[in-house]
Every structure is written in structure tokens, then in C-alpha cells.
Structure 1
């Protein structure tokens, strides 16, 4: 093992990471670095900054649901009141958070709706289809979406 991984192991132990987790992490990282450039500093960055990323204040993942990850503090169950946070993290500034994937989904849905309207418009201009059903369906669908959005906003602002 080289000096980078020795220093990383010391820093992780100082931050309360269990010894078996430190050993497995160092083993995996050294194998990864050997497959790459061979220089861990080039692969992972400065050792102190990398250790901060690997030892996140005693929080550990405890489950996922779709894209959401849930974390827990393991000391809270075994240590009791001694595991209390002295400086809890600040409350989020926003109530809802939309990811880039959500915005991508919205953009795709809007693009598909525009495409449908354009294709129906082309067929109406050529005279092949009566567009009354499409117009009524689009109006009802748009009204339903607007009502659902209005109810959601109204519920969250109470």
C-alpha cells in the first residue's frame, strides 16, 4: 500500500468509520487506482478532501425508494442521547425539489404533446380527419392537468 492509502485509512478511522469498512474501501480503491492511471491522487484528488467525501458525519444509507435515498445515524440507536447532533443541519430552503431527470421528463412530454398537435393539425389541413374529438379531448385533458396542479399548489401553501 502506498502513502496515499495509508493516510486515507488514518483519516477515515479518525472520522469514525469502522475498521472493516476502512479495509474494504482501501482495497477497492487501490484496485481501482491500479486499473487506471496508477496514481491515486490523480484518480481521487487530494487525500483530505477525498476522506471528507467518504466519511459523511456518521450518516449511513439505510434504504432507497425509487430515486430517493434514506440515511440514518447508527449511533442514535446504540448510544442513545450521546448521539445527539450538536449542530443540526439547516432546514431546506424549498419544500419541493425537482431533479434534472424530472425536468427532462417534462420536456419530453411537452415535445410529444406538441408533436401530436402538429400531426393532427397537418391531417386537419389536408382534410382527412374530423378534429372535433381531438379538440374536446385535448381541452378536457388540459383542464384536468390544470385542476390537479391548482389543488396541489393550494394544498402545499396551507
Structure 2
């Protein structure tokens, strides 16, 4: 007996197949969606909307997971906490997908040679036991984790998930030559760090500060700079969140 969900997913599969999505990807997508519905108990059309429109939002834009691409571009870059979200929006609009953050807090990105996806990103505070709550709120909306730094978690999703065909990339811009994107406050914090470390290095050479003292000074300066930057950005985020409620 054919049920309403069966008919819905059959229509969805036909629409994805017509859009050129490989059968393997269609089967995996339908299986994931069925698993989601089994946990919610909702009707697929109520959960996802009409099958044809939902297929257009999914599109045939994403390559199969793990699909080899010898011509894929790789790029690693970084920004301070005052500038990271803006630059993620800029680079995501150019088709760069963040795969992870390395131990230095740099965004490790990849862009397939056939890139047709624009990506959107968001950053959330996940420290102090907030991880499970944030994941529970974001995952149903299609967000997936792509890296962590300090108390922050970064999330990504294809823009096509919300914008449909408008989320596709028409032309692939050249890879940026820069790798460091600092805001004015980030540059000021870096300048203070450089002055402190420079003074400690000079004291080490003069003999008033030993090698161990130099290492401790650099570590403390780096830690203070990171924590102070994080504090400023978190405080600004709290102000931004309170502003709409006060109005």
C-alpha cells in the first residue's frame, strides 16, 4: 500500500532526478529525510513544503560527499573576532566552504572546480554547556558545525537551503591572495602584542629577562590578547542582542 509519505518522497526523487542529481545522492537524501520524519512524526509536506519546491531548494548543486576533485582549490585564512563573520559572508558568497579550523584558529577552506554553491555561516557561543542547546536549535534549520575556536562554534549551510536557485554560484572568482583579514581593533590588539613581545625579547637579549621569562611573557601576552578580544566581542554581541528587545 502506497502511503502519503511514499508518494511525497517519490515525487521529490523524480524532481531531484530531473535536476540531474545522482541516484546515490537522491537515495541518501530521501533516507535522511525519512529518518528525520520518523523522529518528529510530522507529515513531509508540512515539514518541508511541496515536493517540487523543496527539490528546487535542495537542487543538484552539492557534489557527493567525498567526491574526488583533483582540481579543487584549497585556501587557509584567518581574521580576528571582530571581522570573521563579515569575511565568512564574503568568502562564502564566492563558493568557499569551511571544512575545519586548524589549531591556530585559521579557516581551512575548499572550493571544488565545479563549485556552484554559495555558503552562509554563523557563529555562536558554545561554551559553558551551551553546545547541546545550540546544536538542537540550529541542526533542524540545516546548519552543521564546521569548526571551533575559544568559546565559539562556527556553522555552515548551503545558501540554496533557503534561497533556492538564487543560492547558486554563477561565476567562480579567483582565489584571494591575502590570508589575514584584520579589523581596526584587531590591528590595535596585534600592535599591543607586538610591543609587549618586542620589549620582552629586548630584555632577554640585554640579560634582564631569561629565556624562560621571555616564553612566559609571550604566552601571557598572547592569552591576554585572545581573552580581551573575546571579551570585547562577546560584550558587543550581548549589546546587539539586547538592543531589539529594548526598542
TM score, norm. by length of structure 1? 0.42
Larger radius of gyration: 1
Between Structure 1 and Structure 2, which shows a larger proportion of strand residues?
Answer: 2
TM score, norm. by length of structure 2? 0.29
Between Structure 1 and Structure 2, which shows a larger proportion of helix residues?
Answer: 1
Q: Which has the higher contact order (CA 8 A, sep 6+)?
A: 2
